[in-house]
Chain A
Amino acid sequence: MKILIVEDDQELLRTMLKYFDSFGYLCEKARTVARAKSQLLEHTYDCVVLDLNLPDGNGLEIFQTLKQTPQKTGVLILSAKDSLADKLDGLELGADDYLTKPFHLAELNARVKSIVRRNQFKGNDIVEFNEIKIDTTANEVLVNDEMIKLTKKEYELLLFLMSNSNRIVTKQSLSDHIWGDFIELYDSYDYIYSHLKNLRKKILEKGGKDYIKTVYGIGYKFSANDELKKGK
């Protein structure tokens, strides 16, 4: 998967690159509108992560260049402005998603993956982890080829965890993913816990393994490796 990150802040850029690197994505960076445009003309990308406030202009300008390229490139707007007008402008121009800073890397990753999935044709709408398969078009989950019935929240949590498999995902990022980051919910972690408990039970019932590991104090990890469990 090839991703172009357009962001002027060096540190933020480095942080995103490091997280994406660990998934084996091919990442390139651009810190100005001009640089982003020339890179888009030279290479093809599966997804562009686009900051709007750039030193030489508004990030939305790159949509002119994107129109000239033959391949469909997904765009995720990363903005500090939580404004509806900006959001609508971006989505109207052809952005696929809009994420407001500050964000969780796990959330960014899940959204980038979802954009790429949607833009590819050849049956790539399946997210797979050993015996668990998620058909993201039909919103169906199969364990050992048997369908399991999940609530909307359980489904969202599972997809989110599987998108960030083998990484520790914080309780906050799960909570924000489900409830949004606007309202202060100081007991949401308890509900995350109980949803995950139900989810675990449903997967185990169909003969699936328990991949959802609790990492004490901080969050969860979707992993096949028991050794990675924290704590002694």
Chain B
Amino acid sequence: MRLLDKTILVLLFSALFITGLSSVIQYYWVKTKIENRVDRKLLREKKLIKEQLKGIHPQDGFNYSTERASVKFSINNNTIQTDSLFYDKVLDKDGEKTNYRILLTWVSVEEQDFRVEIRKEVEETNTFIQSIFLTFLLTLFSVFLFFLILKYFLLKNTWAPFFETLALLKNSDFQSHPIRFNHNIQIKEFKDLNAELNILAEKVYTEFQSQKTFTENINHELMTPLSIIKGKLELIIQSENLDEQDLKLVSDIFITIDRLTKLNKSLVLLSKIDNHQFEEKVAVNLPELIADIVNLFEDQIRAKNLKIRKQFESETTREMNEMLAYVLFSNLIKNAIFHNLDDGGFIHIILTDKKCEIINSGKNSGLNPKNIFDRFVKESTSEDSIGLGLSIVSKICELNTIEIQYEQTDAAHTIRLVL
């Protein structure tokens, strides 16, 4: 729900409550006032009647009754009762029920008791309620109308800077550009907000940039010494004074440097993915890419006597970074080959518009499907580990909003990418 809609709704409900409450109070207040006046009139009438009853004897067969009052002799002399005021509906001449305020009282004149009932029509009350209700509706309607206009005005004026800020926040890439929020605003809170956002945006930008340079620098700084070590070793092995054992030692160093290099490259790649440094995207032709990668591993496939079945149901292309697409699929296909049976296994690659499945035969690896993709980096330094490769895979998927699933049945492992 929008901020202003919510505000207006709260205001509207408050208005409804207050006008409703005031209408009720108004009704009872005015009603009491009118009642008091009517009652006073009735009591005055009672006095008048009392005056008129002087000198009238019961023997005269007195029985007076009009629309407004009726007077009777009371037979029970001793039961003088107090006045009672109440409402009652009385059928009038036209056969319609009319609301009356009635004063029932006993009057004692010259030792004679009379039962006196004085009536006063109070038809006005209904009209009165009606008019109060109408006023209530009218007020409510005008309040509603007023709020609509108010909302429009607030949107256009008061809250406009806020929505501008919000739009800028939504549509900006804070990491690659320094974003400036307008601080030329009259409203203090919005001005403060934008000032704070400017500080934050500046911080995000500079920190990202320095992180980026740091990553690049570290890469550079490590690669040059590694080049030197590698180069010097290559020079050493050209020497004719080395025996087999020496060469074996050098070879071990080569292998270690290789691991170090690849580990470093993987870590740099991970941080580059984290830093969104693979933004250039093209439409990658997935069938072509997969076929290329399978070709690259033809030796390994032949050696393990693997049956490759490619089932490409469409010319699927996907917008993603070319390099990352290559890294993603080469890692997955490599795993499917290396963690396959030693002889006569299979790899089944199914590609449709919606998903890519790589199913391979293999031993029961005991891998937990739940945490297979977020293994700790440390594990991956061992030679046959797949940890870092899969971390990279899951990072790339995350970046491209590809869902990745892993399933294992008795003899088949399935990696499914939901494209």
Contact = CB atoms under 8 A, between A and B. Distances in A.
A153 to B, nearest CB: 8
B254 A183 contact: no
Q: How large is the interface on A (under 10, 10 to 19, 20 to 34, 35 or more residues)?
A: 35 or more
A12 B234 contact: no
Interface in A167-221: 167-168, 170-173, 179, 181-188, 190-191, 194-195, 215-219
A230 B237 CA distance: 11
B280 A217 contact: no
Interface stretch (B80-88, B110-118, B225-233): B225-233
A35 interface: no
Interface string B216-256: 10011101101111111011011010111001101100110
A101 interface: yes
Interface in B272-301: 277, 280, 296, 299-300
Contacts of B261: 102, 181
A93 interface: no
Given A12-B227, A217-B244, A170 B238 contact: no
B228 A105 contact: no
Contacts, number: 123
Contacts of A101: 223-224, 226-227
A18 interface: yes
A11 B224 CA distance: 9
B235 A105 contact: yes
A82 B265 contact: yes
Contacts of B323: 84
A46 B235 CA distance: 24
Contacts of B232: 15
B231 A16 contact: yes
Interface residues of B, number: 48
Contacts of B242: 230
A118 interface: no
A9 interface: yes
A102 B230 contact: yes
B269 to A, nearest CB: 8
A104 interface: yes
B403 interface: no
Interface of A: 9, 11-12, 15-16, 18-19, 22, 53, 80-85, 100-106, 153, 167-168, 170-173, 179, 181-188, 190-191, 194-195, 215-219, 228, 230-232
Given A85-B280, A168-B238, 7 more contacts: A12-B224, A80-B220, A82-B268, A102-B226, A184-B262, A190-B303, A218-B237
